[in-house]
A and B are shown apart, each in its own frame.
Chain A
Amino acid sequence: MTLAHYLAVSSGLFLIGLFGALTRRNIIGILMGIELMFNAANLNLVAFNRFLHPDGVAGGAVALFTMAVAAAEIVVGLALVLSIYRTLHTVQAEDISLLKG
């Protein structure tokens, strides 16, 4: 098990998350894709920590922070989804174009 294996898994995870965030019509789905990308990044962090600086704990610590931030972010995101649903009566991303120039 080398660093490359971890990075490959992390890349795959990230691309899946990106694909999901780009293609899902439901906002909830998009949020889930974003969560996947977060975790791909976390995986990277701990992998780099493990292989490049085995003595240090920075990578793991930042991964823990990121998880906390992701949890907070998903709370805000879900709250926004709720708010959008209440005003627009939909959670389909393509129906929401309030930012149109």
Chain B
Amino acid sequence: MLEQVHWIPLIPLLASLAILFGGKEGPHSKMPLLGVAAMGWCLLQSSWILFHALTGRYALPYYHTIPWFSYGDYVMTLGVLIDGPAVVMLFVVTLVSFLVQLYSLGYMHGDPRLKRYYAFLSFFTAAMLGLVVSSNLFVFFACWELVGVSSYLLIGFWFEKPGPAYASKKAFITTKLGDLGFFIGLMILYTQAGTLDLSMLAERAKLGIEYLPLEVATAVGICFLIGAAGKSAQVPLFIWLPDAMEGPTPVSALIHAATMVAAGIYLVARTYFIYDAAPLAMGAVAWVGLFTALLAATMAVVAYDIKRVLAFSTISQLGYMMLGLGVYGYTAGLFHLTTHAFFKALLFLGAGSVIHAVHTNDMREMGGLSKRMPATFLTMAIGTLAISGFPFLSGWYSKEAILHAVYLHNPMMWLVALGTAGLTTFYMFRLVYLTFLGQSRDHHRWDHAHESPPVMTVPLWTLAALSIGSGFLLEHEGLFAKLVSFESGHGGGHEAAHAPVWLGAAAVAVFAAGLAAAHRLYGRGDLSLAKSLRERFALAADALEARYYFDDFFLWLVSLSDRLAAAMHWFDDQIVDAIFVDGWALVTRAVAEAHRFFDDFVVDGAVDGVGAVTRDGGGVLHRLVRGQVQEYLMYVALAMCLFTIILTTR
């Protein structure tokens, strides 16, 4: 099975092509089943691989390449590199994709472009899986771009509406900004290290500083971080993610849990040896993660769109993962990536279930839905507990691991991260209270709400089970750490050290505080206290609702570049053209005039002069020839006399 691992990305790719070009489009198209089946097979294969890797029956990493093309001495390879993180990612991506595809059968039921939707969904997963297994950063980058394209297609799936069309463009362009950083990093890496093969690069990094100089590692690390910030929605390139909520909700689940935002984290993890060699880049990862986690958590507090809350929560949790990786907590960061995939997919699919029932995203129009949709409520509650770090649920294990690593690295950062965890609890319970508990605020919608069909609730229950159990299962006997670990050559080794016992207690206390605050503000049915707080801190709340004006900042940047372009155009038109084009034309014309003068009067003059002299000479000479034979004879005689005189007097 491991030897056939290259089929895992290929099967969804083939499936997507088959769905795209085969079958009939329409709300009752049967082609989606093909996508689900393909994904099911991939899930089986990757589960098999995961199981055998966990039980130690496979020797990892598995590395196999074939030459793709070569230029000069360099051979570009196409291949797979399956190490611990790749195995975990394969499982997570295929699982979430499978569940999302299953769920979409219910959610997208009756959509006129069902076939197109499933083709894109499969393609999205194929691109992400290709990214996960690729052994070569060049191929990685190609898949990375394909992920970007598919996200563009899926976010803008309802392209006839202006919102999704705008959001898809925004997502594409913003992530492209990050991709530019990634690409520059790739070029630096290639020119300095001479290869883009991950295992070769890792070996070089292991050999030490001569093979991967500090400044190169730092530059490449920062560039890759920019790329990761674009894809994984870190500060300041996170602006696309809240807008990406315009896409279908299962797509949001896919983007947030498996196929897109995980790519950035995975990039940092895949090239961790570079960061390990460059403490500055590593620090940048940690700080970017910390800021992202905090800023996004605060923004989530004021959002009323159920999907936006989850979007901000994703950004915040991605920040957490970055933070974990940045403080040498390799295992912790990837562990959080894994558990987060489960409960975030669960939360999104749950939110989708709610939206499917009440046809609105606004939490102010919900409330009391637990009575109408008990399955959705229960699973969402499990997801909320998991993400908030309720003890012994999956999120608790991974968050604990990150906080642990952060504390050993820098207690100040730990404090901020802890506060963020409290905010997470607060806004997640705020969501649950506003949506499911209390009194209904829109009776019409409440009356029409109904539980989703089993094809939607089964994925929810599956994910809920994983949200509860995955943490324990993977933490149990250090299974995950056995599979996913990184031997640092430098400042690492924190993960083995011991932190104070009260660290865990503090996390639980913060969880309790967040829960209490959410209950006080939103749990009692009347929102007057929340409103009054909103008014008292209007300035801060406005800033939060405007997402710290990052969007305005980027719009300002765009308009600035617009104006810059206008100025450049003016400069080009008025100065460059005037001097170098029109001016040059003037000079050329003057020179041409001079040349013409010379040609007319000197060259042609010489030609005409020769003609004129010949003609005039002929005119004079022809008079001598009168046709008189005796005259000619006389000339001969005279010439003879002349020659005789010359010859004799010499």
Contact = CB atoms under 8 A, between A and B. Distances in A.
B628 A93 contact: yes
A79 B299 CA distance: 131
B637 A22 contact: yes
Contact of A101 (B625, B630, B634): B625
B524 to A, nearest CB: 133
Interface in B600-650: 621-630, 633-634, 637
Nearest to B626: A100
A93 B633 CA distance: 12
Interface string A73-101: 00000000000000000000110111111
B633 A99 contact: no
B633 A22 contact: yes
A30 interface: yes
Contacts of B623: 101
A46 interface: no
A30 B637 CA distance: 14
Nearest to A24: B630
B630 A97 contact: no
A22 B634 contact: yes
A18 interface: yes
Nearest to B631: A22
Interface residues of B, number: 13
A20 B179 CA distance: 114
Contacts of B634: 22
B630 A30 contact: yes
Nearest to A33: B633
B627 A100 contact: yes
Contact of B629 (A23, A93, A101): A93
Contacts of B626: 97, 100-101
A94 B625 CA distance: 13
A98 B626 CA distance: 9
Interface in A1-57: 18, 21-23, 30
Nearest to A19: B637
A93 B630 contact: yes
Nearest to A94: B628
Which of B627, B628, B630, B634: most chain A CB closer than 10 A?
Answer: B630
Interface residues of A, number: 13
A61 B637 CA distance: 27
B637 A99 contact: no
Contacts of B625: 99-101
A96 B629 contact: yes
Nearest to A23: B630
Contacts of A22: 630, 633-634, 637
A26 B347 CA distance: 138
A16 to B, nearest CB: 13
Contacts of B624: 101
A94 B621 CA distance: 20
Contacts of A97: 626-628
A18 B625 CA distance: 21
B627 A96 contact: yes
A30 B629 contact: yes
A99 B630 contact: no
Which of A18, A22, A98, A101: most chain B CB closer than 10 A?
Answer: A101
Contacts of B630: 21-23, 30, 93-94
B633 A21 contact: yes
A84 to B, nearest CB: 11
A99 to B, nearest CB: 4
Contacts of B633: 21-22
Contacts of B629: 30, 93, 96, 99
Nearest to A98: B627
A12 to B, nearest CB: 16
Contacts of A101: 621-627
B639 to A, nearest CB: 13
Contacts of A21: 630, 633
A22 B635 CA distance: 10
Nearest to A27: B629
Contacts of B628: 93-94, 97
A69 B633 CA distance: 20
Interface in B291-345: none
A18 B627 contact: no
Contacts of A94: 628, 630
A97 B622 CA distance: 13
A100 B633 CA distance: 15
A93 B630 CA distance: 8
B615 to A, nearest CB: 14
Nearest to A34: B633
Nearest to B634: A22
A37 B630 CA distance: 15
A94 B629 CA distance: 8
Nearest to A100: B627
A49 to B, nearest CB: 22
Contacts of B627: 96-101
A18 B637 contact: yes
A99 B629 CA distance: 9
Contacts of A96: 627, 629
A91 B303 CA distance: 134
B520 to A, nearest CB: 131
A6 to B, nearest CB: 19
A49 B621 CA distance: 43
Nearest to A15: B637
A25 to B, nearest CB: 9
A21 B637 CA distance: 11
A98 B625 CA distance: 11
Nearest to B637: A18
B483 to A, nearest CB: 116
A23 B622 CA distance: 23
A22 to B, nearest CB: 6
A55 B164 CA distance: 131
Nearest to A97: B627
A21 B633 CA distance: 8
19 contacts: A21-B633, A22-B630, A22-B633, A22-B637, A30-B629, A93-B628, A93-B629, A93-B630, A94-B628, A96-B629, A97-B626, A97-B628, A99-B625, A99-B627, A99-B629, A100-B627, A101-B621, A101-B623, A101-B624
Interface of B: 621-630, 633-634, 637
Closest 3 CB pairs of A and B: A97-B627, A100-B627, A101-B625
Interface of A: 18, 21-23, 30, 93-94, 96-101
Given A96-B629, A101-B623, 15 more contacts: A18-B637, A21-B630, A21-B633, A22-B633, A30-B629, A93-B629, A94-B628, A97-B627, A97-B628, A98-B627, A99-B625, A100-B625, A100-B626, A100-B627, A101-B627
